[in-house]
Structure 1
Amino acid sequence: MTLHLIKLAVGVRDVEHLTAVQAPRLAMTGGGVRAVPVHTRQTPKRATDLLPGGSLYWVIRGSVAARQTLLDLESGTDSEGDPFCRIWVSAEVIPTRPLSHRPFQGWRYLVPEAAPPDQKAGDGSDLPPALQAELRDLGLL
């Protein structure tokens, strides 16, 4: 079973801002794929369930709003002897249908059944985020 990860995008305003924040860290992998490293302290124990096919879902301002395809997990120890994990994700940020989510620390596993679908044209994605949120609250989106 393919698993996903979910993580808070602290200080990020929206999907466009997430892309802008990640732009300076953009790198090319050995296979010529554009990728972005995401640093965390804990290494997922279920890495074989995450790769290939998993995604990192981003919670932005209380809603799951985007995802990026997981490419690789890299564990190590920093200069002070503390463990870390570098999660490599695709540079492509894919907006998802917003789904409310409570705050949490670090990252969590996300089963595919709980993951929101990708946003498609005609489902309100062309509306301003504030209007989308209001229409969602009213049950109209």
Structure 2
Amino acid sequence: MALHMIKLCVGCDTVEELVDWRQTYRPGEPWILRTRQTPKRAAEMIDGGSVFRVFKGVILCRQKVLDVATVGEGAAARCEVTLDEEVVRVLPTPRRAFQGWRYLEPRDAPQDLRGEAFGDVPPELARQLREVGAW
């Protein structure tokens, strides 16, 4: 069964900013998320798992995990999580702040947003609706 990872998105306030950053700074390279610790359950993450990203206290998107590898040795060792290029929006879900990353069980993962269900709601309006609990 797939296991997911949840991680705060630092430096971007919106999904659009994350995608713009990617297109500007790393085009043509694999999308790699670097962390200090390698997940002990990495094999479960590769088996259909995703990285869910938290923006300002709300999970807004996910990317499929393609590979998890440890690079370096000893104190210099780091984890590299290779992600799919497709950024999938999910049902906005509040999440408290935390450090590093956490596992996210499939039963707790937000559902993918269906574009036709919500239309093309501007990001700022969507944020305001979430803040007042209307979305």
Query: Which residue matches 2:128?
Result: 134
1:45 aligned to 37, 40, 53, which one?
A: 40
Structure 1 position 124, deviation (Å): 3.0
Query: Which residue matches 2:51?
Result: 56
Find the residue that maps to 2:114 and give its secondary structure: coil
Gaps of 5+ in 1: 29-34
TM-score, structure 1 as length reference = 0.85
CA distance in structure 1 between the aligned counterparts of 2:94 and 2:100, rounded to whole angstroms? 17
CA contact (8 A) 1:119 1:125 kept: no
Structure 1 position 26, deviation (Å): 4.1
CA distance in structure 2 between the aligned counterparts of 1:76 and 1:27, rounded to whole angstroms? 21
Gaps of 5+ in 2: none
Q: Deviations over 1:16-75 (max 9, x none)?
A: 1111222323445xxxxxx30111100000012111200000001110001000000110
Q: Name the one with the larger helix percent.
A: 2
Q: Report matched runs for 1:35-114 at 5 Å.
A: 35-77=30-72, 81-114=75-108
What amino acid is the match of 1:87? V
CA distance in structure 2 between the aligned counterparts of 1:138 and 1:62, rounded to whole angstroms? 14
CA distance in structure 2 between the aligned counterparts of 1:136 and 1:60, rounded to whole angstroms? 12
Q: Aligned pair count?
A: 134
TM-score, structure 2 as length reference = 0.88
Task: Give identity over the alignment, percent.
Answer: 39
Structure 1 position 109, deviation (Å): 0.2
